[in-house]
Structure 1
Amino acid sequence: MILNYRQKKSTLPESKQSSEYIFIIHGLFGSLSNLSGLASELQELHHTISVDLRNHGNSPHDDSMTYHEMAADIFALADHLNIERFSIVGHSMGGKVAMACALLNPLRVNKIVVADIAPVTYPDKHNDVFVGLKTLTREPIKNRKEADLTLSTSITTPEVRQFLLKSLIKRGEHYNLLFNLAALSANYASIRAWPEFNNIFNQEALFIKGEDSDYIRPEYQPDILKYFPKAKAKMIKNTGHWLHAEKPKTFNRLVKAFFK
């Protein structure tokens, strides 16, 4: 599957450009616009490719979305763009896709940045989100204010609702969600899970944690080092799971420093 993407060439003169291509991958319910600020900053030195994962944004829909399949989509897009080796930045589910790429074909991946996720199986953290979204889509969506009100009956955090509503677009008289809610719901167990891999990734890997998030715990360190023995960790204070949106300057600075 060829994913929807947005490619940005380095803004430097060709003689001063880095040869690094960096794929940027969003998380669950997101799209390539979520990390657009990071893409713009990395573009100063590097070439970036922001992607919509399958069943997200403007990428094709599919009934299945395992991490092996989503990683294969990234490699298929790299082949389509004639990019042999590249690095990856991924947030949450996108971080798991980044890890899967590095482990499935470590010879093609230079470095990875994994934002607030670990190679483990997580409990259900999105039941309220799925309940709210399913309620929202039972009737035609007339406007964003009405959509936010409907979501608020299940999702109490305004920031989460605003994030979800970024994928609401108007088509004709009504609004529709860009992501494939039915497929995400059907595949949620697979998305929460972490498949076993036989390889290790012996290149640099940076794991960035939000201080107030519980997605990366101390007890997950052995799982990280099992697959990524050269992993380093950074923490951004006073941030949760959406660390790249809560403190974008700090997040972008850490990522840029890692790729220098």
Structure 2
Amino acid sequence: MNTSIAKLHYRKIGTGEPLIILHGLYGSSDNWFSIAKALENDFTIYLLDIRNHGKSQHMPTHTFEDMTNDLFHFMNEVNLTKSSILGHSMGGKVALHFALKYPEKVEHLIMADIVARNYRDNPAKANQADQHKEILGGLLSVDLDKYKTRKEVDKFLEPLISNEALRDFLLKNLKNDTTAGKLTWKLNLEVLYNSLGVLMSSVNYADLEAMDHIPALDTTLIRGLRSGYIAEEDIVKMKSIFPSLRIYDIPDAGHWLHSQQPQLVINAVLDTTRKK
């Protein structure tokens, strides 16, 4: 096996045409399991943990090229010649990068609350990159030799990450390592911290405009109307790049639209995959 390719943990459920689901930064396949269960009568679903997340292999680099290569290798490994791909946030950019590089392998491209923006320059949420730096910096500051429970870690993090819901989400990445006899992170924190610049800026409009040809991808964008990740100018830009782009607006949902309005996200996936 190519040593630069990560071994990806995945779950497979359902019957029907294949659908790969890619989670976002700090997430895992667990975050999308309830969505997958609701879709299992319509698709054979592959829920992946992206490298440096969940139960997948920790690697020294974390670029969109890395994650695209991992996905290409995974599809070959499980004998998938073509699949629909649903990606949320970071996973959505992986899905877009993959679809542009291997359009013949993508049936439907579905991006959940992410666009091809350089998020280091985002008018909808100007300090986004700094927020992620603070989050990862906070997690890196936890001395896990001192704490035995998630509750203790939560108490330490509270002054650093004030949003309780966000802390709860992040703390799902703690696990009891029986071999080490202590709590450890599922996330490869140092690599993710050092990769933030790439994650925030790569797969952007400049990258797409530099391409000689953008394939006529069957593309859908699902956005949370309370999210700060997509500005109106992004919609105009995305439509100019993908003229047949379908957009599903999810009311009363922010960036984590799949947990805030799961049924509407399920409906959007079913609707878009039946329209081609």
Q: Quick check: 160-169 or 127-136, which moved more?
A: 127-136
Q: C-alpha root-mean-square deviation of aligned residues, in Å? A: 1.5
- Give the structure 2 partner of residue 84 of structure 1: 81
- Give the structure 2 partner of residue 3 of structure 1: 8
2:144·2:183 contact (CA, 8 Å) conserved in 1? Answer: no
The one-letter code of the counterpart of 1:127 is K
> Which secondary structure does the structure 2 equivalent of 1:68 belong to?
helix
Structure 2 matches for 1:209-224, cutoff 5 A? 209-224=223-238
- Give the structure 1 partner of residue 142 of structure 2: 136
In 2, the alpha carbon distance for the partners of 1:99 and 1:227 equals 12
- Give the structure 1 partner of residue 176 of structure 2: 170
Structure 2 matches for 1:49-128, cutoff 5 A? 49-123=46-120, 124=129, 125-128=131-134
1:31·1:56 contact (CA, 8 Å) conserved in 2? Answer: yes
Aligned in 2, Cα 1:108/1:27: closer, same or farther, shift over 3 Å? same
In 2, the alpha carbon distance for the partners of 1:80 and 1:140 equals 41
Q: Quick check: 199-208 or 111-120, which moved more?
A: 199-208
> Which secondary structure does the structure 2 equivalent of 1:136 belong to?
coil
- Give the structure 2 partner of residue 230 of structure 1: 244
In 2, the alpha carbon distance for the partners of 1:181 and 1:250 equals 32
Deviation, structure 1 residue 257: 2.0
The match for 1:146 among 152, 155, 164 is 152
Deviation, structure 1 residue 226: 4.7
Q: Percent identity?
A: 32
2:10·2:47 contact (CA, 8 Å) conserved in 1? Answer: yes
In 2, the alpha carbon distance for the partners of 1:128 and 1:152 equals 13
In 2, the alpha carbon distance for the partners of 1:137 and 1:258 equals 46
| C-alpha distance after superposition, 1:2-42 (max 9, x if no partner) | 311111131xxxxxxx3x21100000011111101111122
Aligned in 2, Cα 1:122/1:137: closer, same or farther, shift over 3 Å? farther
- Give the structure 1 partner of residue 266 of structure 2: 252
Aligned in 2, Cα 1:131/1:44: closer, same or farther, shift over 3 Å? same
1:140·1:174 contact (CA, 8 Å) conserved in 2? Answer: no
Deviation, structure 1 residue 247: 1.3
Unaligned runs of 5+ in 2: 121-128
The match for 2:190 among 172, 182, 191 is 182
Unaligned runs of 5+ in 1: 11-17
Q: Quick check: 76-85 or 128-137, which moved more?
A: 128-137
> Which secondary structure does the structure 2 equivalent of 1:175 belong to?
strand
Deviation, structure 1 residue 181: 0.3
